[in-house]
Structure 1
């Protein structure tokens, strides 16, 4: 392992700049995530095309998985600062396209660029944590990165709601460009301290990552197609394209949830599916269906991110004592409870603001489960292949999230088309989220109960 200092503190002189850089870039991505999710109901009112609402999120996460695999593979061959800088540039370009979008389709294209960039930067961050920090410091670093969401989660929705209601939703994208320049420079100064791995790198997986994204895109496009004679073959082709590529990019036995690293990677995907399938539509339920403001809808995301951060800090204190498995199982069960409690928001007689507390429950759940899965992956990854292992984890994470938001969008579209009811669609979305969380909790028993950090 390539560490830059002897102290276990994440702010020790040898890693201080790296810590500041990684936390800063998480803050940037967090502001973007919270702001865009908050103003999406306003965007849909302006641009129309409700059937593409879910694709705004799905495109971002499909881009994420491509960026994560490409950057993780590149980090095993060159200095991590190079793919990190490329990701930052693509993220910035996506903001420009999104801010200038004249249609929902153009916005989706911009979100692909943002996604590739945003996928590359966390993958490189994981590599930097694996190479730059002592094992006993990694849990604290993951917790610190999670805490970087606090300020964006508090200020982001309110600020985005005000911007969207005054100067327009486009400035939610364009207004982040100056931050990209300042924060990007700080982050690059820290990441450049991490050197290339001296171990032999595995083969490049760029084409397979593109194959995964293509397969997932076809699968989700087929699900939203109204004509069965078109939908069925498109879905089948998507599955046939997706599965072989996914299997080649993840540990052997991932789809079978083989105990150990493979199960860890699969559960990460189910975690992303369960949480974000509902998360993408929480503001929609509160704003569009129940008629509250975009700011209130965004506050539901704020409460969830706040409890996510609290749980992340708690798991850092508990993981050595309880082991990762218990935290992961508990977190998934809590997410299921949060998704089910969101059903109350759909009842006209119940105040819509109850959604703020309901989704806070789910936020606490993902905070408990998320970082322990990362710790297990770093602990059991083959030496010199931290980039490939973490890229596989990120791939499963982003694919699960993309499929979750995409399936939720397809379900909502079908409900509106069939029943002319957004409530029916959201009912199905929250039930699917809870079901996948319960499945993840069951399979999480195959994640290592303890980890031995070396």
Structure 2
């Protein structure tokens, strides 16, 4: 679309104007609900494992979710590029709801894991459909603001989940956290179905991939990510074969699910896709071990450690809000590079938690705010750039690749740091120092890689000779 036409359409538009209000509210409701479920699952999983007699193997509940999400992402990319946005979105939420219901009614742990897998598959469909929905139903000038709405929804969930999930589980049962969520999702599903209309389901390309079937590569990558996640979460020497098998499967499958040139950081969409995985892996890795260090080494209460993470989530929302302001949208290059740099500074500042004489909570909150603001600026910018540089028939497949990269980066980084921490388990401080160093190096790589994410509009839209 000509930029002058785009600017004319965006002028005076808002995410809550008459044309977009229903869709924006529905997306916010869905994202908040899914975020609550994801966070509450971490909190109540020990209760689930105890009641279903699966304390030693409850890590499979997380691995099943993550592994099943990969084929959901890939399938959603192909379906949405073929003009199937509405059924993809509705199907994703129905599957997610079925998984929640099965989890809440589970009488044995294998049944619960099956429910988590259905949730994961539906979640993979859902996250890609959300991205494509924003690309199709919102003009380019409003997309940064919508990508700011999503972190805000997660921040709301981060504030409410610790209290709400604990209250529900203690007052009734952990099952209520699963069975109480589907009505909200179904209500939002109706609103989304009415909002998408024919414009979102326009058939834009017959074959979005342009390549042979990627089913076997999708399965390989999905199983590989699941094995890596499990090994990283429960690492011991006995799980080394699991780690190696997961790595081998990823080496075979993952490159076929990413844009050509992603592994060599080719300029444009390939570099954007890779950056999401590198940056996400760096930040998630560092954040995952902060509560452990605060509680085990610095004597901070569990609730205070959780509050530090909630502050970081709020800072992420602030950074996302800032990048969505109309006055700064022209400076996307600065927003991305600056965001990556701030995230890296926040990660490396966490190393000060190892200094006993310094106030632990002040450092945790300060580092979390700096890193959170940086991630809030960078992650939405990555999404904005992806759709700026994607043809209509590539929006779904590119969004799917972005999410696969994010899952791959987080799983690989957590597996590596989990293995490192396990080998240094005699000293939590030494293990944390090694983890922050690794995460900081990934952050530096992300900052350097951000330079490869920009290209001219004409270079993207003109077909190759």
> What's the secondary structure of 2:204's corresponding residue?
coil
Going from structure 1 to structure 2, the CA distance change for 1:58 and 1:435 (only over 3 Å counts) comes to farther
Going from structure 1 to structure 2, the CA distance change for 1:89 and 1:300 (only over 3 Å counts) comes to farther
> Cα distance, 1:91 vs. partner?
2.0
2:345 corresponding residue in structure 1 = 337
Aligned equivalents of 2:166, 2:297: Cα separation in 1? 17
Aligned equivalents of 2:449, 2:356: Cα separation in 1? 36
Range that drifts further, 66-75 or 278-287:
278-287
Is the Cα contact below 8 Å between 1:58 and 1:405 reproduced in 2? Answer: no
Aligned equivalents of 1:43, 1:198: Cα separation in 2? 44
Is the Cα contact below 8 Å between 2:228 and 2:415 reproduced in 1? Answer: no
> Cα distance, 1:207 vs. partner?
3.8
Larger radius of gyration: 2
2:310 corresponding residue in structure 1 = 302
1:142 corresponding residue in structure 2 = 147
2:251 corresponding residue in structure 1 = 243
Going from structure 1 to structure 2, the CA distance change for 1:35 and 1:237 (only over 3 Å counts) comes to closer
Range that drifts further, 381-390 or 62-71:
62-71
Is the Cα contact below 8 Å between 1:20 and 1:187 reproduced in 2? Answer: no
Match of 2:204 among 156, 178, 198: 198
1:373 corresponding residue in structure 2 = 382
2:322 corresponding residue in structure 1 = 314
1:394 corresponding residue in structure 2 = 403
Unaligned runs of 5+ in 1: none
Is the Cα contact below 8 Å between 1:212 and 1:242 reproduced in 2? Answer: yes
Going from structure 1 to structure 2, the CA distance change for 1:319 and 1:295 (only over 3 Å counts) comes to same
Aligned equivalents of 1:125, 1:443: Cα separation in 2? 26
> What's the secondary structure of 1:402's corresponding residue?
helix
Is the Cα contact below 8 Å between 2:22 and 2:195 reproduced in 1? Answer: yes
Is the Cα contact below 8 Å between 1:41 and 1:283 reproduced in 2? Answer: no
1:175 corresponding residue in structure 2 = 180
Aligned equivalents of 2:48, 2:24: Cα separation in 1? 35
Going from structure 1 to structure 2, the CA distance change for 1:295 and 1:227 (only over 3 Å counts) comes to closer
Is the Cα contact below 8 Å between 2:348 and 2:436 reproduced in 1? Answer: yes
Range that drifts further, 267-276 or 166-175:
166-175
> Cα distance, 1:448 vs. partner?
0.5
**What are the residue-to-residue correspondences of 1:144-293 with 2, within 5 Å?**
144-164=149-169, 167=172, 169-192=174-197, 194-203=200-209, 205-219=214-228, 226-227=236-237, 231=240, 235-287=243-295, 292-293=300-301
1:119 corresponding residue in structure 2 = 124
Partner deviation per Cα, 1:145-181 (whole Å, 9 max, x = no partner): 3322342232223323444555455544343233223
Q: Give the TM-score taking structure 1 as reference length.
A: 0.84
Say what the alpha-carbon RMSD is for the aligned residues: 3.6
> What's the secondary structure of 1:209's corresponding residue?
helix
> What's the secondary structure of 1:199's corresponding residue?
coil
> What's the secondary structure of 1:280's corresponding residue?
helix
2:446 corresponding residue in structure 1 = 440
> Cα distance, 1:90 vs. partner?
2.6
Going from structure 1 to structure 2, the CA distance change for 1:32 and 1:426 (only over 3 Å counts) comes to farther
Going from structure 1 to structure 2, the CA distance change for 1:62 and 1:331 (only over 3 Å counts) comes to farther
Range that drifts further, 200-209 or 326-335:
200-209
Aligned equivalents of 2:50, 2:291: Cα separation in 1? 14
2:133 corresponding residue in structure 1 = 128
Range that drifts further, 6-15 or 375-384:
6-15
2:416 corresponding residue in structure 1 = 407
Is the Cα contact below 8 Å between 1:58 and 1:402 reproduced in 2? Answer: no
Partner deviation per Cα, 1:244-294 (whole Å, 9 max, x = no partner): 422222111101111111111100111111111233344444456656555
> Cα distance, 1:141 vs. partner?
1.9
Unaligned runs of 5+ in 2: none
